[in-house]
Amino acid sequence: MSTQKEELEIAEGGVDYDALEDRLGDTAIDRESHVNAEGFVVRPDEVQDALFALRDDAGFDHLSLVTAQEYEDRYESIYHLKKFDDPTQEVSVVVPTTKDDPVSQSAEPVYRTADWHEREAYDLVGIDYDDHPDLRRILLPETWKGHPLGKDYDQNKPQVVSFKQHANPLKQDHKDAESDTMFVNIGPHHPATHGVLHLETTLDGETVADVEPDIGYLHRCEEQMAQQGTYRHQIMPYPDRWDYSSAGLLNEWAYARAAEDLADLDVPEYAQVIRTMGAELCRIAGHMLAVGTFALDVYGDFTAIFMYAMRDREKVQAVLEDLTGQRMMFNYFRLGGVAWDLPEPREEFFGKTRDFLDDLPEALEEYHDLLTGNEIFQSRCIDTGILEPEVAKQYSATGPVARGSGIDYDLRRDDPYGYYDELDWDVITEDGCDNYSRVLVRMQEVEQSAKVIEQCVDLLEDWPEEERDIQSNVPRTLKPDPDTEIYRSVEAAKGELGIYIRSDGTDEPARFKIRSPCFHNLSVLPEMANGEYIADMIASLGSLDIILGEVDR
C-alpha cells in the first residue's frame, strides 16, 4: 500500500490517471475527460470513499470547487480537487444523480469546505446531500420557493421574504439561571462587516461562544448573468463586479484564462505583459483597501491610515484610468488580448506609473510607522485570530489568508499564466497565523507587485513598435465544442479565483460557476473567532478581507 501511495503522490510531470483509476477500483464507474483534468464518475453513495482515497492516498488535499448543475436527464455534482503543493495536479470527481431522487452523499466529512459549497448547490440547483451536517439555504432567503439555476425554475413567480426580528435575547437568557449567553446580530447593516454581511453571534460575557456568518445579502445572480451572455463580449463586464475593490482586471483574467483555454485561443506576448502590469496595479489597489479598512476596524475611525490608503488608491486608480478608461469597472481584457494599447503619449504614461512606484516605498514606510509598528495595533493583532495551516487547508483558504498561515501557495508561481514566470518576484509567506501576519503579507505583496510592475514597464518601454500586437485572431462568434468542460483559476487579490465553464455548442455557456476565494476565506471565521473576545472577532473579520460581492456573487 505504501509503495502505491508514494507512486501516486510523486507523479512527476502530471497526474497518473491510470494509477488513480486502479486505486479507486470499482468506485469509479466511468471516466470523463475535461480540458483541465480527468474526471472519475462515482456513484452517489460512494462519494466519501472516492474522496477519502484521493485525499489520503494520492495527496489531493485541496477541494477547490464544487460545481452543481442540471442536465436534461440528470443532476451532477463535480468536485474539483487539487494539491496545495502543486496545483497543476488536478482531478475531478463527477457524481451524477437521477432527476427523481437527487440525493448524493456529502463530502463534508472529507473536506470541511464542502459544507458551504453543498449548501449553495442545494440552494441554487436543488441537489440533496445525505449526511450533510446542516443542509439549508445559504444565499437565498429561507422562505424562497424553487431552485433558480434548475431547469424548470419560473423567474416570474412571486416570492415572499420574511423579516424576522430576533426575540430580545435579554428576555430569555439573562433572567434564566440556566443560561448566561446573549445573542447579538452584527449586520447586515454594520460598519464593521465590510458590506452587507450578517453575523449571528452568541456571546458569553465578552467572549464569542458561537458565530455564524449569514450571507446572501448581495447575491446578485452573477452566474445566471454569465450564463445569459455570449463568450466574446457580454460576459467580460461582469467579473469586474465580483471583487469590486478596484481589483477588476484580476477577475477579468480568471474569465479570460478559462475561456481562452476552452476555445484554444492564443494571447500575444505584448498583451500578456500589459495584462500582468494591469493586474498587479489592481492587486495594489485591492490590498490598499484591505489595509485601510482593517485599520478602520481596529482603530475605529476615519483617521490617518484610512485616508492615506485612499490617497494611494486614488493614484493607482488614476494610472488604471489612463490605461483602461475607467476607475473601477475596467472591462479592458478581451478574449485573446486586451481592448487597446497603452495610452499615447506612452512616455507620459510610463512617467506617471514610475512616479507612483517611486513614491510607494515612502508611503509603505508611513503605513509601517502608523500601523505595524504601533504598540496598540500590535497588541490587538499579534496572537489573535489564529488560523492553523491545517484548518486553513481544510477550508480551502487561499491568498493572503493562507500565506499568512505559512501555506506557500500562489498560483502566479505554481500554475503560471501571463508573464509571471519570466519576471523576478517572490511569494510572501508569514508563519504567525494571526491577524498581524495577514496584514504583513498584504503589505509585502504590495512591494512585490510594485517590483512586477516596474519590470513590465521596462519591458513595454523597449518593446519594438512593429511587434505591439494587443489582440490575436478570434472568431467573431465563439462556439466551443459541445460538452467541453474546463476549470481554470488565477491568483486574484483575495486568493484563488476559479471559473468552471461547460459549453453546449452555442455561443453562451451552459454552466458558468465561480470559485470565489472570499467565500472560502469567510467560512473559516468561526474557527478563528470561537472562544476569543468579540473585539478580536471584528479584527479577524477585517483581516480576512472579504468583499461581499465576491462572497455572494
**In Å, what is the CA distance from 494 to each residue of 60, 310, 472?**
22, 19, 29
Question: Rounded to an integer, what distance in angstroms lies between the CA atom of residue 1 and that of residue 7?
Answer: 10
Neighbours of 83 (CB within 10 A): 21
Question: Rounded to an integer, what distance in angstroms lies between the CA atom of residue 332 and that of residue 381?
Answer: 38
C-beta closer to another protein: residue 174 or 189 = 189
Least Cβ distance, residue 194 to another protein (angstroms) = 7
Within a 13 Å sphere around the CA of 295, how many CA atoms are in the beta-carbon half? 25
Choosing from 62, 117, 132, 219, the residue that interacts with another protein (CB under 8 A) is 219
Residue 357 in the binding site for another protein (CB under 8 A): no
188 in helix, strand or coil?
A: coil
User: Which amino acid makes up residue 406?
Assistant: G
Choosing from 13, 158, 345, 464, the residue that interacts with another protein (CB under 8 A) is 158
Residue 323 in the binding site for another protein (CB under 8 A): no
- Stretch of 23-31, 306-314, 480-488, 536-544 contacting another protein, by CB under 8 A: 306-314
Choosing from 151, 205, 302, 461, the residue that interacts with another protein (CB under 8 A) is 302
Residue 406 in the binding site for another protein (CB under 8 A): no
Residue 549 in the binding site for another protein (CB under 8 A): yes
CA 445-451-453 angle, to 5 degrees, is 105
**In Å, what is the CA distance from 155 to each residue of 139, 146, 158, 224, 228?**
16, 9, 8, 12, 14
Least Cβ distance, residue 159 to another protein (angstroms) = 5
Least Cβ distance, residue 224 to another protein (angstroms) = 6
Within a 13 Å sphere around the CA of 366, how many CA atoms are in the beta-carbon half? 16
Residue 161 in the binding site for another protein (CB under 8 A): yes
Asked if 388 and 348 touch (Cβ cutoff 8 Å), the reply is: no
Number of residues that bind another protein (CB under 8 A): 55
Residue 136 in the binding site for another protein (CB under 8 A): no
Asked if 517 and 398 touch (Cβ cutoff 8 Å), the reply is: yes
C-beta closer to another protein: residue 238 or 420 = 238
What pairs with residue 501 in β-bridges?
Answer: 486, 512
C-beta closer to another protein: residue 238 or 487 = 238
Choosing from 157, 166, 175, 476, the residue that interacts with another protein (CB under 8 A) is 157
Residue 327 in the binding site for another protein (CB under 8 A): yes
Question: Rounded to an integer, what distance in angstroms lies between the CA atom of residue 220 and that of residue 238?
Answer: 11
Identify residues 223-242 at the interface with another protein (CB under 8 A). 224-225, 228, 237-238, 241
Least Cβ distance, residue 238 to another protein (angstroms) = 7
Residue 217 in the binding site for another protein (CB under 8 A): yes
Least Cβ distance, residue 64 to another protein (angstroms) = 25
DSSP assignment of 5-43 equals: HHHHHH-TTS--HHHHHHHHGGGEEEEEE-SSSEEEEE-
- Stretch of 11-19, 45-53, 102-110, 305-313 contacting another protein, by CB under 8 A: 305-313
Choosing from 289, 402, 490, 544, the residue that interacts with another protein (CB under 8 A) is 289
- The β-bridge relationship of strands 198-204 and 207-214 is antiparallel
User: Which amino acid makes up residue 142?
Assistant: E
For residues 162 to 191, the per-residue mask of contacts with another protein, x marking binding by CB under 8 A and - elsewhere, is: xxxx----------------------xxxx
Q: Where are the alpha helices (DSSP H) in 386-507?
A: 389-394, 399-403, 411-414, 435-461
- Stretch of 19-27, 222-230, 439-447, 452-460 contacting another protein, by CB under 8 A: 222-230
Residue 389 in the binding site for another protein (CB under 8 A): no
Choosing from 4, 159, 303, 378, the residue that interacts with another protein (CB under 8 A) is 159
Least Cβ distance, residue 481 to another protein (angstroms) = 27
Residue 548 in the binding site for another protein (CB under 8 A): yes
Residue 535 in the binding site for another protein (CB under 8 A): no
Q: What is the DSSP letter of 167?
A: P
Residue 52 in the binding site for another protein (CB under 8 A): no
Residue 542 in the binding site for another protein (CB under 8 A): no
- Stretch of 202-210, 243-251, 379-387, 412-420 contacting another protein, by CB under 8 A: 243-251
Identify residues 245-274 at the interface with another protein (CB under 8 A). 245-246
Longest dimension (CA), the chain: 81
Report residue 47 as a C-alpha cell.
Answer: 462519494
DSSP assignment of 480-527 equals: PPTT-EEEEEEE-SSSEEEEEEEE-SSSSEEEEEEE-HHHHHHHTHHH
Question: Rounded to an integer, what distance in angstroms lies between the CA atom of residue 289 and that of residue 246?
Answer: 9
Least Cβ distance, residue 231 to another protein (angstroms) = 17
Choosing from 15, 218, 226, 411, the residue that interacts with another protein (CB under 8 A) is 218
Calculate the dihedral angle through the C-alpha atoms of 128, 133, 139, 141, rounding to the nearest 10 degrees: 90
- Chain residues binding another protein by CB under 8 A are 140-145, 148, 153, 155-165, 188-191, 194-196, 216-221, 224-225, 228, 237-238, 241, 244-246, 289, 302, 306-307, 310-311, 313-314, 317, 327-329, 548-549
